[in-house]
Each structure stands twice: as structure tokens, then as C-alpha cells.
Amino acid sequence: MQYEAGNFDVVVVGAGHAGVEAALAAARMGAKTAVITINLDMVAFMPCNPSIGGPAKGIVVREIDALGGEMGRNIDKTYIQMRMLNTGKGPAVRALRAQADKFDYQHEMKKTLENEKNLTMVQGMVERLIVEDGECRGVVTMTGAAYRSKTVVITTGTYLRGEIILGELKYSSGPNNQQPSIKLSEHLEELGFDLVRFKTGTPPRVHSDTIDYEKTEIQPGDDVHRAFSYETTKYITDQLPCWLTYTNERTHQLIDENLHRSPMYSGMIKGTGPRYCPSIEDKVVRFNDKPRHQIFLEPEGRNTQEVYVQGLSTSLPEDVQQRILQTIPGLEKVQMMRAGYAIEYDAVVPTQLWPTLETKKVKNLYTAGQINGTSGYEEAAGQGLMAGINAGRRALGKEEVIFSRADAYIGVLIDDLVTKGTNEPYRLLTSRAEYRLLLRHDNADLRLTDRGYELGLIPEERYQKFLAKKEAVEAEKERLRSIIIKPSAGVQELIRSMGGSELKDGIRASDLLKRPEVSYEHIKQLVPADVELDFDTAEQTEIQIKYEGYIEKSLQQVERLKKMEDKKIPENIDYDAISSLATEARQKLKDVRPLTLAQASRISGVNPADISILLVYLEQGRIARISSN
Amino acid sequence: MEFDTIAAISTPMGEGAIAIVRLSGDQAFEIADRLFKGMGSKKLTEVASHTIHYGHLIDPKSGQVAEEVMVSVMRGPKTFTKEDVVEINCHGGLVSVNRVLQLVLNQGARLAEPGEFTKRAFLNGRIDLSQAEAVIDLIRAKTDRAMNLALGQMEGRLSRLIQKLRQEILEILAHVEVNIDYPEYDDVEEMTHNMLLEKAKYVQGELEKLLQTSQQGKILREGLSTVIVGRPNVGKSSLLNSLVHENKAIVTDIPGTTRDVIEEYVNVRGVPLRLLDTAGIRETEDIVERIGVERSRQVLKEADLILLVLNYSDELSEEDRNIFKAVEGMDVIVIVNKTDLPQKIDLDEVRELGKDYSLVTTSLLEDKGVDELEEAISSLFFSGAIESGDLTYVSNSRHIALLNQAVNSIEEAINGVEMGTPIDIVQIDLTRSWELLGEIIGESVHESLIDQLFSQFCLGK
């Protein structure tokens, strides 16, 4: 029996890391939103590693925060440890990573959703979409509840026709033995979507009391206050350490002996797994010259004894997992609480999406997160936010929002997905961003807060604070450019003490700061500011001055491509009518339907000559129109 | 790439008195400005549109004057392509015009494909609609030709070498990336400045070797650097004058520049010679001892070709023998001059000393033996087979420009390392050089870095 369960602007299916951002963004923009999830106890659950951030991913979290999303704030309230990675490298690759208390994390996130006005949370299994005239107009759950809406966002993670594989055992399941979503997957196929089978995995969890930490190395958090969110002012001081240990020859031998029982090698697993997240059996087989692999022991929270064994992702049978663990120093007597497993699931081939994450097949339907072939909480959250923004704006009758590759890692992520597709679960890497010097951890606010404010996701007070910071950075840059430091005895002394070569002439404070051995702290000693700058402002000033030349180079690169980015391709273009296109290029263009010439040029199989021809065709159309007028 | 700034020689190749290199695109003025030094202080970006300016092109690498030019500045849209256009008028002949082209290409202009100016004119609405199909055909044909060319080169030594160097760079890049994306993985050694420097310098060295050994490219680019050596009064000056008068010379004799090493260009049967130290020869002909062997040695180092002049009517001296020693192992043509005078030289001894070299006897005074000399020069360097044909030439020119830009990027990376710039930032320049090399062989797919990353290192949680 179907019944009417309510009318909404936006319905979000799933409340994982993508779903919560989508729902919050839509609701905060003023759209009446419902979020429907199979199990309300699993909101923002971390089925794999209990951590947020890291290279590239950490920057995504900052971007989400600059756009008014929740992930940064939520982890700042619930971390057990925080570390800045790559501090010895340049500012572009610095990345924050937190270990989360995974239970606090989900409870805190659920609370935030519950307290959001405009947002309705319900438990339910969505089995099909209401599609009329090629438009999505709501969803229907297993119990027959029909939720009508203007737009729908699907964020089902690894639940779509999920199957857990553990040794010789294979059964239908979502992650962590949750109920899988089977009917929805079939329904998407009926609607004509191409689905692909992906695989990912997770390692075993062990009991902390049975670990001999003496045999491992401690990995503490930073003793400086760190935060993902630009809003955070309270810091957690009692951090918990992680621990490092290694596999050894015995581990590898044991794996080798049991390979025939591995579903990876017996052919039971058919889905494509990610190269960047191989199982331990994969690592041992592919890199058999490596005498050892790192294993990080990560607490899953403050009120649990469960410890995540990072580096030991596996789908070997349970008994083998237990024995493998016991070969590792510190884990000789360990008690395994949960076995690792592999999970196969359906994902939507992401080239079926517009860069807004709306599907091309069904209007007003959006997909975000792991369903789009990505992996990682941050990648999911970034997409969720964008899908939520676009679904919300569509419902409210507003323009769509797309970030470019020069705006944000979120832009890189979505452009890669919808333009190139992916043949393995997609993970963001810093090397995927061609303008990574522009897409830094430190300047996420400068890049995106204005946009967040325009979207109505950044409150006035925060925005004013942001503007003040921006102004302070500009003022300080200007001040350092205008001050000449003279080579007085005191100055020379200080320069010598920092290991630099003495000044020959007077030098602008800003030019002195460009020397590698000179920091803003030094400059501050030489030419103190009237008002002491806070850490963020000082850091921003320093980075902008120090790397000015390189930043300028990147900006020129962006500028060079801008004309191609600006060249729009009409949605109704008929590629079959352009006879000179190469066959492969034509097919790819028809599949991807790029919105700009630049996007077209990034499709593999579309070569420069095809772009030229496309351009000529576009111009021909324009000229024809002009001459007929 | 569409919309970038393109350049090409727009006058027919040959021996015209004037040749034109045309630039079109929004960087046209900036590129010209980086090279051009006019009489006034105004930059080309600041002058009135559709005006022409006299001045010189300065090679930014050496700081030396490269060419004497007239530059026309035409602001879009009132131009053929409707874009900003700069036309550089320079002296005719292979050497000058190629030099100008190389300079603008090194500054970031891209060598125009056949028909590309016309295509732009069309795209910018300058050309009638009915020509669209023709333009499309042109583009298609161009790709086919480029494909053939690329295929031909794929088998070549150049391509193999470039692929090897790209792989070297790619491994550095992957190493740097793995340090960034997996900072805690201790399986992977941290790439240090020293390691990077060593590898970058190796690649730089290989690229420069490649540039140097790409002989034809170098000839087209700057001519064969040629030195005339010999004792005083053997006829060096006459030889110089003879070469210069016989052939159209372009004298880069610019007031205000140092006269110390003045170069003159001559084109000998298709071999462009860049004659070094001609001022020295002219000034010192009468001043005995002015050119000591020491000074010669220094100039000799730069030379591709040595014209060693001896006196037919004088016995071989110790100084002559010293000169032979100084040029050992180089490409040398021995010229025994003054056959109009009685023979005193022992030609057998000369042949013995210069047994690896061609020997020509001349009387420059009577204009005898000059043809033989020119023949010797030409055969020495072309062995009768100079590659001609537009495409090979064009693509070489493009390769040289890309190689030069790749070397520039590597140099910037090396500078960065030496300045102590963080490695991940230095990597921007390294990546650029990798991409530029990829353009030469038609590969620039970013995904291969990620593939390299995962095949080279064992990563993952």
C-alpha cells in the first residue's frame, strides 16, 4: 500500500557523509528538506578508518567548511587526535588529519541534523523514485511511504546491492552488516542508468587491552591547537595516540600459504578495487620484495576498546586473519573483535552526471558520494554538499553552482568524475590538481567564503570576520611592501643569526621575506606591526608574499585556459551533425556532453583537432545566427 | 590548444631581403615586449595601434642583441585574425628569420599549424561563412599529417630519448607525489633537495646535449659558430671579406654594444656560418702578437668549425704547429693561402699535421680556390644530405622550441632547489618540463603520473 508521507523541496536518500552535507546545505538555504536513511543509528557512520582529512582530503574538508558545510565543525568537536601532515613541505601540500571518536562523530552529526529547522529525518528504505515526464518528483519507501519533492539526491554509499565477502563466505549486506539496498539498484537500472561493480575493503578491529604497546612506536597528535573549521575556537587537549608496528616475513608467508582461500584470487570478487587502498594480500603479492609493511593501530574512540588495524585491509577468511594478526609485533596475543571484509557494491557510472551532479537521464535527480564511484568520507561529503546546494537551488528556482578546477579540490573531484569517469573507486590525490598551489589548506576561506555567503550558507557574523581577516592580510602585505629595511648593524646581526647572507643595500621587507630562511616571525622582529596579527592572518600574509612568483605562474596558467573555460557548448548540440569529428571523439562527446570547450578537451579520446573542429562548428552556428538576423 | 598565441614565418622561405615573423593572440604584445628594445622608452603594449617601430631583439638568455628589426603593432580587432597581431620584419635568409622565430617560440608562442591564422580569422568572424568547410578540411588534413609525422618520429632516436627522459622525470614526480600523499609511509625514502638536484641536473644535461646534437636544429637556429685562426698576415681578413662579400652578410654591428666579440653571419651553400671574433681579426690584422694562442683557445672552445689559415709562401712556424695542437679533435678545414706567391711551405708536412682535415689551397687575392673552400664547408656538414621539405623543418623548429622551454623549466626547478624552495613547489616546474617533452612526442596524459605512483610504490591503508 502506498501512502502520501509529505511534500518537500528536497529529499535526500541516505545519511552518510554525503547525505548529511546534502541535507544540511539544502535545509540551510531555505529548502524544506527530508533525509531518509535505512537506519537512523548510522548517521555519518565511519564504516572504515576512524579518521578525517589527510593530503588533498583535508583540504576538501576546509573547503566544505568555507562553504558552510558541517564536516569540519563536526570533527573539531569529536577528534581524539589531530596532526598537520607535510609540515616540512610547501604550503600547498600541508594537510590536516584527525583521528575521530567515531561514535561521538556520528552522534554529534545526528544532533546537528535533528536541530536543523527545515530538515525532517526519517528512517526508511527507499526502493524507487517517482519519475514523471523524465523528471524526478519524489521517492517511495519499502513501507509504501511516498515523499513528494521537487528534487531528489541519492547518497547510498556502498549499500546498493552490497555484498560482503569474507574468505569463502559471501552474503548480501551493506557495510558493517547493515541492510543492503537492492530494489533501488534494480530501479536505477530500469530507469536506464549504467551501473558498475566496485569493491572496497576494511581491516579487522582488535581489543586494545590485548595489544602489547611496548612493542610498537607511539604516534602522538600535535601539541599545537589545530582545527578544520574556520569557526572553531575550542580545542580538545587530551589527545589519544596511535601506534605503529610492522608486518614481517612470517606474516607474508602466512598470507602466501592462504592465498588460495582469498576471494581476491579465487575469482569470487569481481568488482574493481582501488589501487590506493589495496588489501594486505594484494600488497604482499604485488610488492613481494618488500620485507615489511606499516601497520597503524588507531583507537576507534574514547569509550571503546576497539582498535582499527590500518594497513591490514583484507578479505581472507576469519581464522587466517586472526593468525596473521598474531605474527605482528605487539599483536601476538591480540583478540580480534571484528574481522576485516571486502564489500562489493553498485555505483553509477559518473559520466552520466552533469557537473552539478544532476543526472542527465532524469531531471531533478542528483547523486553524490560513493554511489558516484568515489571512495573516502571527504570525497563523499564534498559531493554531498554540491549536490545539496544544486538540488536546493533548483527547488528554489535558482541558478546552478559549479566550481572549476582552479576554485577548489571539490571542483577537481567533480570534473574528473563527470568528464573522465573512473574505472576504480576514485580517491583525491594532490597530484590530480593541476593548480594545487592555488588550492591550499590555508586559503580555502579566501577561495570560497564569498561563494558560501552568496549561497546563504555562511552567517553574516562569520562573513564579517572573514572580511576583516582578508583586509588585514592585504594591509599587512601592503605595509611590508612599503617598508625598506636598512642594513644596520642590528639588522645584519639578526640576519646572520637566521643563517642568511647579509644585506648589501636596503631591501623591502616583503623581498626579505621571500628569502627561504626568513619567516614572518623574523620580519615581525625587524619591523613590528602596530597591532599583532593573529596566527591565521600572519600565516596567510607570509605564504602570499613568499610564494608570490609561483602563485603568479599558476594564475597565468589558469588565465591561459580561461577562454576555453568560458566557451560554452549548448546542451542541445548535435554531434552527429559534425561530420569531421573522429568517431571515438564523437562517441565520447555524446556520452559526456561537456558544458564547456575546456571540459571537452579533458575527455580522453578527444584530441586537439576535434576541439578545433568543435570550435569551428560552434562559431559557425553563432555566425549563421548573426547573419540570419 | 586553442586561443593561445601563435607564431610563424609568414614570408616565403628563401633568400628574400626581408622576412616577416607574425604573432597572433592575446599574448602577442607581451611576448614581443620581452624581446624588443626600441629607440624610445615605450613598450609595444603602450604604442598606438597600426604603427611600426625600429629596434632590436635582445636574446633574454644572453642579454645580447639578436636581430635588427622593424616591428608592426596591430591591435585587434582590426587585424587579419581580429586578435592582437605583431609582425616582426627582419633581415631575410634562413638564419635571421629562424632566430627570430625561435626567440618568440621560446617566450611561449606556439608554432602555428598550417592554415591556423586563417582558422583564427574565421573563428573570430573575419572570414565568410562559406569558407568554414575548407577550414575544417584543413584541420582534418593537418591532423593526419601530424599523425604521420608523429609516427615517423616515434621510431626515431629523438623520440626514444625523450621518452626515456620523460620517464626519468616521471619517476621523480611520482616520488615527490608519494611523499606528499603518503607522508607517513616510511617504505618510501623522502625525496631531498640533493636527490632532486642530482636528477634534475642529469635531465637538464641530457636535454642540453640533445639540443646541441640536434645539429640541423642548431644550424637553423643560430648557424655554425666558425672561427678563422692563423698567424698574423696569413690572410684571415681576406678570407673573412671574401666569405662576407661572396655571400650576403648580416652584420650585427650595433652601436652601443660591445665590439669585443662581434659576429657576422654568412650563408655558404645553405650552411649558415656564424663567424666569431671577426672584429678581432679586423682590428688585429696589422698588430702582430695581438692574438696569442691563449686568446684563440678561448674563442675556439665555442666553435663548431675552424678555418685554419696558413701562408703558402712561408715555412710552417712553431706558432702554426701550436694552432694545430689547439684545434685537435675539432672540425677543421685547413686553408693554405697566397698561392699567388712562391711556395715555401712544406705541403706534405701540412697534410701530416692535418691528416684528418680537408685541405684547400687558395689565392684570396686572385679569388682562386674560394669555390673549393665553400664546397669543403658544405660537404663537411651535410655529407650531401640536408633534410629539407617543409614539414620536417617545421616540426624540428617546434621541437627545438619545446626543448628550449623544457630546459628553461628544468633550470627554474634547479634554481628553486638551490634557493631552498619546498620540493612540492619546485615540482611545478618539473611537471611543466615533463608536459613540454610530452608535447614533442604527442603524449601529455596526466593519468600516467598516477599510474606511475601506484606501480612504483606500495601504498594504501
| Residues 293-332, chain A, touching B (beta carbon < 8 A) | 293-294, 296, 310-311, 313
Q: Report whether pLDDT(B220) > 80.
A: no
Question: Cα angle vertex B111, ends B172, B407, to 5°?
Answer: 30
Residues of A in Cβ contact (< 8 Å) with B446: 432, 434
Q: Is the pTM of this model over 0.95?
A: no
Query: Closest approach of chain B CAs to the CA of A609, in angstroms?
Result: 6
What value, to the nearest 5°, has the Cα angle with vertex A621 and ends A620 and A623? 65
Contacts of A221 in chain B (CB under 8 A): none
Cβ-count burial A141-154 (b if 16+ within 10 Å, e if not): beeebbbbbbbbbb
Q: Report the sign of the C-alpha dihedral through residues B1, B3, B6, B10, in that order.
A: positive
- The residue of chain B with its CA nearest to that of A622 is B125
Whole-number Å distance between alpha carbons of B69 and B57: 7
Query: Which residue on chain A is closest to B147 by alpha carbon?
Result: A609
Average pLDDT, chain A: 93
- Chain A residues in contact with B123 (beta carbon < 8 A): 615-616, 619
Q: Is A602 an 8 Å CB contact of chain B?
A: no
Pick the residue from chain B with its C-alpha nearest to A548: B425
Pairwise CB contact (< 8 Å): B421 & A90: yes
A39 or B237: whose pLDDT is higher? A39
CB A569, CB A590: distance < 8 Å? no
Task: Tell if the CB–CB gap between B424 and A93 is shorter than 8 Å.
Answer: yes
Cell of A133: 515526464
Helix (H, G, I), strand (E, B) or coil at A601: helix
Lowest mean pLDDT among A135-144, B2-11, B135-144: B135-144
- Inter-chain touch B179–A607, beta carbons under 8 Å: no
Residue of B nearest to A294 (CA): B185
Q: Which of A294, A437, A560 sits opposite B425 (nearest CB)?
A: A437
Task: Say if residue B9's pLDDT is above 70.
Answer: yes
Tell me how crowded residue A123 is: count the other CB atoms within 10 A of its CB.
14
Rg (C-alpha) for chain A, rounded Å, is 26
The verdict on A517 touching B (C-beta cutoff 8 Å) is: yes
Q: Is B2 left (phi over 0), alpha (psi -120 to 50) or beta?
A: beta
CB neighbour list of residue B91: distance below 8 Å, 6 or more residues apart: B17, B18, B19, B67, B68, B97, B250
Q: Do B422 and A90 touch (CB under 8 A)?
A: yes
Q: Which residues of A touch B450 (CB under 8 A)?
A: 429, 431-432
Sheet holding A294-299: strands in order across?
Answer: A217-219, A242-246, A294-299, A306-310, A205-207, A336-338
More reliable by pLDDT, A497 or B401: A497
Question: What SS3 state is found at A468?
Answer: helix
List A residues 392-431 in contact with B (Cβ-Cβ < 8 A). Answer: 420, 429-431
Measure the CA–CA gap between A119 and A43, rounded to whole angstroms.
14
- Beta-carbon contacts of residue A264 (< 8 Å; ≥ 6 apart): A273, A279, A281, A282, A315, A342
pLDDT at residue B223, as a whole number = 63
Name which of A563-577, A580-594, B432-446 the model is least confident about.
B432-446
pLDDT mean over B59-70:
85
Q: How confident is the model at residue B290 (pLDDT cuts 50, 70, 90)?
A: very low
CB burial string B67-96: b at 16+ within 10 A, e below: bbbebbbbbbeebbbbbbbbbbbbbbbbbb
Across chain B, how many H-helices and E-strands are there?
A: 16, 14
Please give the radius of gyration of chain B, using alpha carbons only, rounded to the nearest integer: 26
Which of A429, A517, A562 to mutate: most B Cβ within 10 Å?
A: A429
pLDDT at B448: 62
Give chain B positions within 8 Å (CB) of A49: 461
Set of cell numbers at residue A599: 571540459
- Contact, A12 vs A153, CB < 8 A? yes
pLDDT score at A108: 98
Q: How far apart are CA B320 and CA B392, in angstroms?
A: 42
**Residue A194 pLDDT > 90, yes or no?**
yes
Q: How many Cβ atoms from other residues are within 10 Å of residue A420's Cβ?
A: 18
- Residue A302 in contact with residue A198, Cβ under 8 Å? no
Mutate to test the interface with B, among A431, A613, A619 (most CBs of B within 10 A): A431
C-alpha cell at position A596 = 564547456
At residue A35, does pLDDT exceed 60? yes
Are A517 and B420 inside 8 Å of each other by CB?
yes
Distance CA A388, CA A16 (A): 13
Q: And the C-alpha cell for B139?
A: 584541420
Q: Name which of A12-21, A596-605, B133-142 the model is least confident about.
A: B133-142
DSSP calls for B315-331: ---HHHHHHHHHTTTS-
What's the angle, vertex CA A609, arms to CA A605 and CA A610, rounded to 5? Answer: 55
Confidence band (pLDDT; 50, 70, 90) for B195? confident
Q: How far apart are CA B173 and CA B457, in angstroms?
A: 12
Q: Report d(CA A485, CA B268) in Å as an integer.
A: 58
Per-residue pLDDT band at A303 (split at 50, 70, 90) = very high
User: Which bin fits B383, alpha (ψ -120 to 50), beta or left (φ > 0)?
Assistant: left
| A623 near B CB under 8 A | yes
Return the sign of the alpha-carbon dihedral for residues B359, B362, B368, B371: positive
Q: In which element (H, E) is residue A310 found? A: strand A306-310
Mutate to test the interface with A, among B425, B434, B455 (most CBs of A within 10 A): B425
Alpha carbon A138 to chain centroid, angstroms:
27
Say if residues A199 and A385 touch (Cβ distance below 8 Å): no
Please list, in sequence order, all residues whose beta carbon lies within 8 angstroms of the beta carbon of residue B36, skipping any fewer than 6 positions away.
Answer: B44, B53, B55, B56, B57, B58, B69, B71
% helix, strand, coil for chain B, step of 5: 50, 15, 35
Are the Cβ atoms of B139 and A612 closer than 8 angstroms? Answer: yes
Answer yes or no: is pLDDT of A541 > 90: yes
**Residues in contact with B382: Cβ distance below 8 Å, sequence separation at least 6, in sequence order:** B270, B271
The residue whose grid cell reads 574493481 is A272
How many angstroms separate the Cα of A606 from the Cα of each of A561, A598, A601, B146? 17, 11, 6, 16
The DSSP secondary-structure symbol of A419 reads I
State residue A452's pLDDT score: 97
Average pLDDT value for residue range A90-119? 95
Least Cα distance to A228 among A429, A19, A41, A381 occurs for A381
Q: How far is CA B390 from CA A142, A551, B394, B396, B397, in A?
A: 71, 40, 6, 10, 11
Cβ-contact A89, A100 below 8 angstroms:
no
Over 60: is that where the pLDDT of B211 sits?
yes
- Bigger pLDDT: A235 or A275? A235
CB of A55 within 8 Å of a chain B CB? The answer is yes
Q: List the one residue out of A331, A341, A307 whose CA is nearest residue A250.
A: A331
Residue A219, beta-bridge partner list? A242
Q: Which of B449, B454, B397, B457 is nearest to B166 (CA)?
A: B449
The single-letter DSSP state of residue A405 is: T
| Mean pLDDT on B12-20 | 68
CB A409, CB A430: distance < 8 Å: no
Asked whether the bond before A570 is cis by omega within 30 degrees of 0, the reply is: no
Q: What three-state secondary structure class fits B235?
A: coil
DSSP secondary structure, A602-613, as one string: TSTT--HHHHHH
How close B52 gets to chain A, by Cα (Å)?
28
Indicate the pLDDT class of residue A604, thresholds 50, 70 and 90.
Answer: confident
Average pLDDT value for chain B: 74
Query: Which residues lie below 8 Å from residue A1, measured CB to CB, with a gap of 6+?
Result: A144
What mean pLDDT is predicted for residues A406-435? 94
pLDDT tens for each residue of A219-228: 999 999 999 9
Task: Determine, for residues B123 and A615 on separate chains, whether the beta-carbon distance falls below 8 Å.
Answer: yes
Query: From residue A626, how far is each of A486, A623, A629, B130 by CA, in Å?
Result: 63, 5, 5, 14
Chain A residue numbers touching B449 (CB-CB < 8 A): 431
Tell me whether 0.85 is exceeded by the ipTM.
no
Tell me the one-letter amino acid at B16: G
Q: Measure in Å the smallest separation between the Cα of A1 and chain B Cα atoms.
A: 46
- pLDDT bin (cut points 50, 70, 90) of residue A73 is very high
Cα–Cα dist B161/B214, whole Å: 12
- Among the residue ranges A269-273, A523-527, A561-565, B76-80, the one predicted with the least confidence is A269-273
- With a pLDDT cut of 90, the percent of chain A lying above it is 77
